[in-house]
């Protein structure tokens, strides 16, 4: 039983810090936009283009991480349901004999 939980924790938990760091990076973006407002118009436009490119990259990375996380949770759910079915079958065999 302990092996199962350690395997699950080693497999699912590493994606959570990646998600948290990506969201933190997204929160830092308004600071960059505030600094750009102080520059001239051309500088602001270039800064906005860079910010949009960075946000696009962060959104893409976050989407990939969330898809990986969803896939791992789907596999984990399948394994848990399969284990539950096996446990019910085992209990049925034990009590019906």
pLDDT in tens, 42-67: 777 888 899 899 999 999 989 999 99
Determine the 3-state secondary structure of 37 from DSSP: coil
Tell me the percentage of the chain whose pLDDT exceeds 70.
Answer: 72
What is the distance between the alpha carbons of residues 66 and 16, in angstroms, rounded to a whole number?
9
Are 37 and 44 spatial neighbours (Cβ–Cβ below 8 Å)?
yes
- The model's pTM is 0.51
């Amino acid at each position: 039983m302990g092996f199962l939980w350690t395997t699950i924790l080693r497999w699912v938990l590493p994606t959570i810090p990646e998600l948290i760091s990506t969201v933190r990076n997204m929160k830092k973006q308004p600071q960059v936009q505030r600094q750009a407002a102080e520059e001239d118009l051309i500088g602001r436009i270039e800064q906005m283009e860079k910010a949009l490119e960075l946000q696009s990259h962060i959104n893409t990375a976050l989407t990939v991480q969330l898809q990986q996380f969803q896939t791992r949770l789907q596999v984990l759910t399948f394994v848990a349901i399969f284990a539950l079915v096996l446990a019910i079958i085992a209990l049925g065999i034990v009590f019906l004999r």
